[in-house]
Structures are given as structure tokens and as C-alpha cells.
Amino acid sequence: MECVRSGALDLGRSGKFLGKSGSTTSCGKVRCSTNLAGSTKCEQNLHGKVKPLLLSASGKARGTSGLVHRSPVPKHQHHLSVRSTSTDVCTTFDEDVKGVSSHAVEEKVGVLLLNLGGPETLNDVQPFLFNLFADPDIIRLPRLFRFLQRPLAKLISTFRAPKSKEGYASIGGGSPLRKITDEQANALKVALKSKNLEADIYVGMRYWYPFTEEAIDQIKKDKITKLVVLPLYPQYSISTSGSSIRVLQNIVKEDPYFAGLPISIIESWYQREGYVKSMADLIEKELSVFTNPEEVMIFFSAHGVPLTYVKDAGDPYRDQMEDCIALIMEELKSRGTLNDHTLAYQSRVGPVQWLKPYTDEVLVELGQKGVKSLLAVPVSFVSEHIETLEEIDMEYRELALESGIENWGRVPALGCTSSFISDLADAVVEALPSASAMATRKVKDTDSDMDMMHYLTKMFFGSVLAFFLLLSPRLVSAFRNTLH
Ligand SMILES: C=CC1=C(C)c2cc3[nH]c(cc4nc(cc5[nH]c(cc1n2)c(C)c5CCC(=O)O)C(CCC(=O)O)=C4C)c(C)c3C=C
Ligand SMILES: [Fe+2]
């Protein structure tokens, strides 16, 4: 089978294809094109009919038979391999395959787990919040006014700290995130070993120790020769995986070692069967605790993001979240679990509009509508953290009970659930062959998705807001009230 390439597209080993800008490849009956925004579409020509091919988290294409994925291909994806249920598509890459095995003995594989990080003590809370708000992917100031980022971060973190400290105090005085992520890293190492892959696992946190930069230093010291990057967020958002990947991209630009290091980034993995099934298992288990499981409303509570991320900056987070919930519900349905469900967004911060509906408002509405039993399912994150242990288990539970809901349950985060860790290990193994030097790839710039008028309007209002926040004590105290 011969594959025709055009543009700057590069076909990787075993048919993996590494998306580059504005290019098209035809491979047997499959034709893929990647546009300038990095979005890739593949079509399969079967009996004269062109059908869209849907790509899974690891980039595996799924044919239309046994299809579980309904929405378009996620926009933010680096590595897409094209495989099809049709046997005559891209099956022969003998030279490359030989290449893999001949180099395998010298390979030193690393896996970098990216996560948010959390304060370990109450004294860490304000500096942790400073790091978070100083991130231009969290507070998105217009480029011209980025010089205000750090003073603004100082201001907001100082005002936010007392409320956050209360939250962390109520869950034992600090975030459990580091401990849980370390446990997941150990479990992943063991799972990879059982799949015959020896790998060193590194944890890189975005806003607290061990910082991503520290992990990256260690990777260099250890002379890793191939790296798989796995953000521990199932869905991609500019504010989470996007922000951590940007740190990596900035280092790659500066450091010749990383510029030449083959890297594969798994940007989102909520569509993986193993993840979907593991979530369904947890939900079924918690449903069975209720006296009348079939009457329970399954309440997915996702972490919110400001609406502008999705509307103006092209964040695929909401689409991926909706798709993720649909997949989990489909899986439950296939097992005969036919409960009602709903999705709402939690944890909004500051005076702007976030993704709706808001968790607190929906809980009150459900109570008013007479829903009596509710199972909360945190779905943006795979570890317990302040927003599950404090916000859901304490604040939302109390609100739900006050609103007339009588029976409350909560699904635990996946943590080290073995089916889940095993699936992450599979994702790593599948991503490995498509590792390529990052320096040659197009760095996605979400700002470019915004039209000029919108950008200028944002720039104007952003700068007015920033100056007023810094200069006007009355506004500062109004803003302070919103944060509390
Ligand atoms: C202000 C903007 C924020 C955006 C956008 C945001 C997106 C986002 N965050 C998570 C996951 C987590 N966030 C956590 C803490 C946290 N997040 C924000 C703000 C934004 N998050 C703040 C201010 C804080 C600190 C806690 C607080 O004061 O409320 C955590 C918890 C870490 C821990 O310490 O345990 C997680 C996890 C996602 C998934 C997301 C977008 C999709
Ligand atoms: Fe957050």
C-alpha cells in the first residue's frame, strides 16, 4: 500500500501520522487533512462513500462499526495515528518498524505526568495562588498588558488566600494532590513494566512542587531518549493541559537537548475505552449503595472555565466534556443502567461569566423539582482534591440537602483504580511510536483563533479593568467581595 503525502505532513511509524499545518495525506482509502489551526480531519472512502473517521485519544481511528464517539475530532491533538477497521489501509511500514526494533535496546523511555499541584501547608496557599494567577493561560490579559500579570496576580492571590486557606484547613491543612499523583506515578510504572515497557516516570506540577521545570531538569540529567507527556486531565483545556504543555514548549525552544528529543503528547484521553469503563464501574458501584438505585439522578460536576475560553479562544473543553459524559452514559446504558443524568460546572472564580449551568444553581433547581436522590460525579480530574473534598463533599452536599435532596452520594476520583492505570499505561505504549522532535512542530496559539475586533475590544476593556483594579480601592474591595 502506498501512501501519498503532500504539504509538510509527516507519516510516522506504523502508520502514525504527525499533524503539521495545512497538509493532506492520502493513505489507501483514508484521506486526512490538517488545517492551520492544527485541526485534523480524516475521511474513509468506502464503496464510493466518504465517511468521517473518528480518532480516539491515542489517535487511533475508529471505523463506523461499533462506534461510540459522536462528536468531531478534538481540536487540540498533536499525534494522530491513522488505522482503520479496513485491512488495506496503511498496513505496511516495514522499514520504520525495523527501525523501532533495532533502536529499542538503547532507548531510555520517560513518561512525564503533568498536573496542577496544590499547596502542602497553609503557608503555601498564597504563593501557590500567585503562581496560578500569574499564568497567562489562567488570567488571559491582552498581550500588550501582560506586564500587569504579576501585580494583578499578587493582588488577587492576596485577596483570595483567606478563603482558600479556610478550604484547605477543612481538608487537613493542605492539598493531597502531590501524594496521590506520586502514587499514580508508581502504579503506572508497575503497569508499564507488566506490559514490557521499562520507563522512568516524572511528575511535573504547574503551580507547586515538584514544578514542571524540576521534572524537566531531571529528565535531562537522566538522559531520557524518548518522552511521552501525559497530562492528568482527561479533557483538554487551555487552562490546564494547555498551560502545562506551553511550559514544555517554552523549554523546548531554548534547550537543544529537548529540541531534539522525540516527544509524544497525549493531549486528552477522555474517549479511551478504559477510562470510560472505569468511570462507569465507579458510578455503578456507588449507585448500588442507594436504597433505590434506579431513582438516583447522576450529577456530573465538572470544573468550570470562563465562557470566553470556549467562545473566543477556541478551548475544546466544553465539547470534550459533553462528549465524555455521553460516552460514560452510553456505557452505563449498555450495562442496563438507565438513570437520568445532568452536567453542571463548579468552582467559578471572579466576576466574569463561566460555563453554565452552575453546579450550585442546578442543585437548588433539582431540589425544587422534587429530585430526592443524587449521585455527584467529579469528572474533570482523576485525584481527590480541594474541589471534591471540600466543595462537593461539604458545600454542595449541604446545599443539596437544604434544597430538598434527601439521599446524597459521591463517586470517588479514579486515583489508582487498576483498570484506569492499566489504560493509561496502554495510552503511553500506543503514543510511544509517534514520538517526534517537538521543535519542528507548530506551536498552537489559541489567540490566533480570535478575530481582530474581538481582540481589540478585549484589549481595551481588559486594560481598563486592570488599571482600575490596581488603582481604585473601592473597586478592589468590590472585587474582593466577589472572590469571597
Ligand atoms: C481562575 C481561574 C481558574 C481556572 C480557569 C481554572 C481551571 C481549572 N482548574 C482545574 C482543576 C483544579 N483547580 C484547582 C484549584 C484552583 N483553581 C483555581 C482557579 C481556576 N481554575 C483556584 C483559584 C484554585 C485554588 C483553590 C481555590 O482557591 O479554590 C485544583 C485543586 C488543587 C488542590 O490544591 O487540590 C484543581 C484540581 C481544572 C480541571 C480546570 C479547567 C478545566
Ligand atoms: Fe482550578
Q: What is the ipTM of this complex?
A: 0.95
**Confidence tier at 457 by pLDDT (50, 70, 90):** low
Give the structural domain span for 256. Answer: 107-268+417-435
Pair (236, 311) in one structural domain? no
Distance CA 192, CA 353 (A): 42
Look at 1-10, 176-185, 227-236, 328-337 and tell me which has the smallest mean pLDDT: 1-10
* 258 shares a domain with 155: yes
* Cα 52 to Cα 1, 49, 58, 179, 314, distances in angstroms: 21, 10, 17, 42, 22
Residue nearest to atom 13 of ligand 1 (CA): 116
Judged against a pLDDT cut of 60, whether residue 168 lies above it is answered with yes
Q: Which ligand has the minimum distance to the alpha carbon of residue 128?
A: 1
Mean predicted confidence (pLDDT) in 415-438: 96
- For the Cβ of 420 lying below 6 angstroms from any atom of ligand 1, the answer is no
Ligand with an atom nearest the CA of residue 132: 1
Alpha carbon distances (Å) from 242 to 115, 245, 267, 444: 11, 5, 8, 9
- Between CA 424 and CA 430 the distance in angstroms is 10
**Which of ligand 1's atoms lies nearest the C-alpha of 163?**
28
231 and 140 housed in the same domain: yes
240 touches ligand 1 (CB under 6 Å)? yes
In the reported structure, the alpha carbon of residue 236 is separated from the centroid of ligand 2 by a whole-number distance in angstroms of 13
Q: Which three cell numbers stand for residue 260?
A: 531534539
Alpha helices in 202-358 (DSSP H): 212-221, 243-254, 256-260, 273-287, 307-311, 317-334
Q: What is the pLDDT of residue 130?
A: 98
Q: Whose C-alpha lies nearest to ligand 1, atom 35?
A: 385
On whether both 275 and 399 belong to a single domain, the answer is yes
Ligand 1: residue of 349, 360, 383, 480 to mutate (most ligand atoms within 8 A of CB) is: 349
- Residue closest via CA to ligand 1's atom 32 equals 118
Q: Are 250 and 283 in the same domain? A: no
Kindly tell me if the per-residue pLDDT of 21 is higher than 70: no
Contacts of 72 (CB under 8 A, 6+ apart): 41, 52, 319
Enter the pTM of the model. Answer: 0.75
Q: For atom 33 of ligand 1, which residue has the closest CA?
A: 118
Q: Is residue 396 part of a domain?
A: yes
Asked whether residue 469 is assigned to any structural domain, the reply reads no
156 and 233 in a common domain = yes
Q: How far apart are CA 457 and CA 163, in angstroms?
A: 32
Give the Å distance between the CA of 243 and the centre of ligand 1: 12
Q: Is the pLDDT of residue 10 over 90?
A: no
Point out the ligand nearest to the CA of residue 241: 1
Pocket flag, ligand 1, residue 115 (CB < 6 Å): no
3-state helix, strand, coil in the chain (%, to 5): 45, 20, 35
CA distance 15 to 175: 42
Does ligand 1 lie within 6 Å of residue 18's CB atom? no
What is the mean predicted confidence (pLDDT) over 41-59?
32
Check if the beta carbon of residue 61 is closer than 8 Å to that of residue 83: yes
429 lies in some domain: yes
Three-state DSSP class for 204?
A: strand
Is residue 258 within 6 Å of ligand 1 at its C-beta?
A: no
Q: What is the pLDDT of residue 484?
A: 46
Ligand 1 in contact with 397 (CB < 6 A)?
A: no
Please give the tally of structural domains in the chain: 2
Mean pLDDT for 42-66 is: 30
pLDDT digits over 59-87, tens only? 333 322 222 222 333 333 333 222 222 22
Same domain, 191 and 248: yes
* Same domain, yes or no: 255 and 138: yes
- Coil, strand, or helix at residue 269? coil
Do 282 and 231 share a structural domain?
no
Cell of 404: 430538598
- pLDDT of 3 over the 60 cut: no
In a domain, 27, yes or no: no
Look up the CATH number of the domain holding residue 249. Answer: 3.40.50.1400
Q: Ligand 1: does its nearest atom lie under 6 Å from the Cβ of 386?
A: yes
Distance from Cα 58 to the centre of ligand 2, integer Å: 25
Ligand 1 binding pocket mutation candidate from 132, 140, 156 (most atoms within 8 A of CB): 132
Per-residue pLDDT at 24 exceeds 80: no
> How many angstroms separate the alpha carbon of residue 114 from the centre of ligand 2?
14
Q: Which band of pLDDT confidence, cut at 50, 70 and 90, is reported for residue 456?
A: low
